[in-house]
Amino acid sequence: MEYRFILLLLACFSWPVPNSEQVMAGTTDHYYFVSNEACWQMNVSLLYKIALWTSSLGVIALISDFGYSQNEFSQRFLDGFYFVVLGIGVVSTAVRYIENYKLIARKVFIFDFLSVCFTLWVFYLFLFVGVPFETDLLLENPIWVRIAVFTTFIREFSEVKFNYKRTVLNPAQLFVASFLFIILLGTLLLMLPRATHEGISFIDALFTSTSAVCVTGLIVVDTGSYFTDFGQIIIMLLIQIGGLGILTFASYFSYFFRGGSTYENKLALRDITSSKTIGNVFSTLKYIIFITFSIELLSGLLIYSSLDRGSFASQYERVFFSVFHAISAFCNAGFSTLSNSLYESEFRFNYALQLTVILSFVLGGLGFPIVANIVNYSNYRLRKLFSFGRNKVGYRPWVLNLNSRITLITTFSITAIAFVAFFVLEYNNTLAEHRGLGKVVTALFGATTPRTAGFNSIDTASMLFPTTMMVFLLMWIGASPASTGGGIKTSTFAIATLNILSLAKGKDRIEVFGREIAAISVRRSFAIISLSLLVIGLGIMLISIFETDKDLMDIGFECFSAYSTVGLSLGITGKLVNESKLILIVIMFVGRVSMLTIVIAVFRKVRRKNYRYPTEEITIN
């Protein structure tokens, strides 16, 4: 009990005093023991709450520090408050492990231990080495204090237990609400004075935040010149969070830090991540995060190696360009720090850069389950290759499932057809300035980027009319399901096409690769197609009311691009009035979360009925 008594004194809380009856009865020892135990638990719980709230205030202080210009007094106040946060955080973490030493067995103990050591190192540097906050040494840079404050917040926030209740929000409502929250938070961050050079209106900040979170890429102000480095970092983080989804980050890291999750939480995550069973929900999340960061790291390195040093004023700019475009490419966002995207004169002939970007957004557009399935299939092939017949089996396992096969075949078929069409149609137009391999790479880029990537290596407004019509179709089809891209999805387009072939052959069901496609999948596909056309058509009609001087082709292109979260434009986005921008914001949001998801979130599910009405055909055509 001695260590508890000492920690209790440090917490500066009062002790309860026994009354006269307890003294006369001789029960003071038991009273003190019980009271001390209860007081300890109460004070420790209060300490944890104080640590959580102070670390939360520390994050707000960080935002204020980066977002606003500080005078000498306010900067010193913030610096002092940072150390208060760090001190309380170290004490809270130490008490947590002293109170329950079994927590050492958790995986997160390594993170807690290293972060506390890092915090103590920061204390040592700033309090005992040189003059605090008045040195330019690398190790004593104030950025380390800010990193320590953020890790303190992660430690404290990860201990909070969230129990999801389906009676409050169903999975569809939770998914929609998470995107709304991040969009509004991003809007406020982009409106901070130090996020832009000249300030930004609420509508433009909301548009940019929505475009980043919904990984669209449409912009009303130039990203590279209008936003500061801080503002561009905010956009990059919004793209990353929007591409994966805030629930993916929050759920997996909550599971990692706490080592478990409730049954209700797992049910919700299974619906959101499309996992087949509850047991593999977190392994799916781990796969998603691992695949994302691995591809983005590789893409960043390849982009960095393909860049010319003379194109950048400093090493930092070159590194930041690589990181920003790696994240933007894999998340199919289409944001670029270049005014004309990859059509800038110094980059339009950098074919190594274009190939890297193509590879990144194609992998991001395939979908996480597809990429994971391809990895599993590759492992199976490698094991079979190096087994030399020792583990030979009589059948080929169903490693590459039906979903993967349909998605891959549809993706490569559409890409091949679009590439040939783009190459032929634009050979003497937008491809005229390229030679040999350059024409092939640029044509491939032009054929793949409309399917939700949003980068452009040509002047989009200069495309021929047939090419523009093809881009309309490619944007509408979009990427694959469970990916970072938008559109109606390749699987939806494939099911619609297979349904036409089945009807032409007189079949009453859709069969492919020895499997029958479930009726619910067919129903969802046609619901998605109908809802997409409804949203896009309504958007075109409303914008045409406010933009009487704009061409209908340009408006339609903008709406298709917004719904499919593509980001390509014919050059009218920044010239739209605020009412049209708000309409595009809604279209981008609906396209990202899916209109079907919103409908499911709004309508209440009916219970299954134990009866069926007689079937009757409706006259069609």
The confidence score (pLDDT) of residue 16 equals 45
Check pLDDT > 50 for residue 15. Answer: no
Judge whether 236 lies within some domain.
yes
Q: Are 289 and 320 in contact (CB under 8 A)?
A: no
Per residue in 303-338, pLDDT (tens digit) is 999 998 888 888 999 999 999 999 999 988 889 999
- Which range is least confidently modeled, 278-282, 301-305, 420-424, 547-551? 278-282
pLDDT for 329: 92
| 155 and 206 co-located in one domain | no
What pLDDT does residue 226 have? 92
CATH of the domain at 74: 1.20.120
Domain C-terminal end among 133, 160, 187: 160
Does residue 370 sit in the same domain as residue 475? Answer: yes
Distance CA 381, CA 375 (A): 10
Same domain for 358 and 497, yes or no, is yes
Q: What is the pLDDT of residue 464?
A: 93
Instruction: Rounding to the nearest 10 degrees, give the CA dihedral for residues 52, 57, 63, 64.
Output: -170
Handedness of CA 37, 39, 45, 48 (dihedral sign): negative
User: Averaged over 292-302, what is the pLDDT?
Assistant: 91
Residue 8, pLDDT above cutoff 50: no
Mean pLDDT of 263-267: 49
pLDDT at 441: 93
Residue among 521, 592, 552, 516 at smallest CA distance from 209? 592
**161-185 confidence digits (pLDDT tens):** 655 555 556 667 777 888 898 999 9
Domain boundary among 104, 139, 160: 160
Residues 376 and 405 in one domain: yes
- The Cα 343–Cα 157 span in angstroms is 43
Cα(230)–Cα(208) distance, integer angstroms = 15
Residue 229 lies in a domain: yes
Q: Are residues 152 and 187 in the same domain?
A: no
pLDDT (tens digit, 9 = 90+) per residue, 78-97? 888 888 899 898 888 888 88
pLDDT value, residue 103? 76
Check pLDDT > 70 for residue 20.
no
pLDDT in the model for residue 538: 95
Count helices and strands in the chain by DSSP H and E runs: 24, 2
Residue 167 lies in a domain: no
* HEC readout, 428-452: CCCCCCCCCHHHHHHHHHHHHCCCC
Contact assessment for residue 218 and residue 565, using Cβ atoms and an 8 Å cutoff: no
- For residue 125, how far is the Cα from the chain centroid? 36
User: 238 and 213 in contact (C-beta within 8 Å)?
Assistant: yes
Residue 96 has a pLDDT of: 85
Mean per-residue pLDDT for 218-239? 92
* Same-domain check for residues 406 and 320: yes
Length of the chain, in residues: 621
Instruction: Spell out the residues 6+ positions from residue 445 whose beta carbon is closer than 8 angstroms to its own.
Output: 342, 354, 357, 358, 455, 457, 458
Residue with the bigger pLDDT between 507 and 170: it is 507
Domain boundary among 114, 138, 160: 160
> Residues 150, 190: one domain?
no
First and final CA of the chain: distance in angstroms? 84
7 or 149, which is more confident? 149
Q: Is residue 582 part of a domain?
A: no
For the segment 99-127, the average pLDDT, to the nearest whole number, is 81
SS3 516: strand
Distance from C-alpha of 483 to C-alpha of 170, rounded to nearest angstrom: 22
547 located within any domain: no
- By C-alpha distance, which of 588, 577, 367 is closest to 492? 367
- Say whether pLDDT at 235 is over 70: yes
Assess whether pLDDT exceeds 60 at residue 33: no
In the predicted structure, residue 2 carries a pLDDT above the cut 70: no
Residue in this structure with the two tokens 């596909």, named with its chain if needed: 525
Task: Please check whether residues 261 and 229 belong to one and the same domain.
Answer: yes
Judgement on whether residues 299 and 358 belong to the same structural domain of the protein: yes
Domain that holds residue 404: 172-385+399-524
> Which pTM value belongs to this model?
0.82
In a shared domain, residues 37 and 137: yes
Distance CA 193, CA 198 (A): 8
For residues 441 and 419, give the distance between their C-alpha atoms in angstroms, rounded to a whole number: 10
Number of domains in the chain: 2
In angstroms, how far is CA 127 from the centroid of its own chain?
39
Residue 354 resides in a domain: yes
Q: What angle do CA 274, 277, 283 make, to 5 degrees?
A: 75
| Domain match, 183 and 107 both | no
Name the band, by pLDDT with cuts 50, 70 and 90, for residue 449.
very high
Instruction: Pick the closest to residue 19 from 31, 34, 37 (CA basis).
Output: 31
The pLDDT of residue 7 is above 50: no
604 lies in some domain = no
17 band by pLDDT with thresholds 50, 70 and 90: very low
* pLDDT at residue 289 greater than cutoff 90: no
Assigned domain for 574 exists: no
Q: What is the chain's Cα-based Rg?
A: 29
Q: Which residue has the higher pLDDT, 395 or 553?
A: 553
Task: Report helix, strand or coil for 515.
Answer: strand
- Give the largest CA-CA distance in the chain: 105
pLDDT at 24: 46
Question: Same structural domain for residues 260 and 134?
Answer: no
Classify 511 as helix, strand or coil.
strand
Q: Please tell me the distance from the alpha carbon of residue 201 to that of residue 401, in angstroms, as a whole number.
A: 48
User: Using a CB cutoff of 8 Å and minimum separation of 24, what contacts does 605-611 make?
Assistant: 605/170
Which residue type sits at 31? Y
CB 570 within 8 A of CB 557: yes
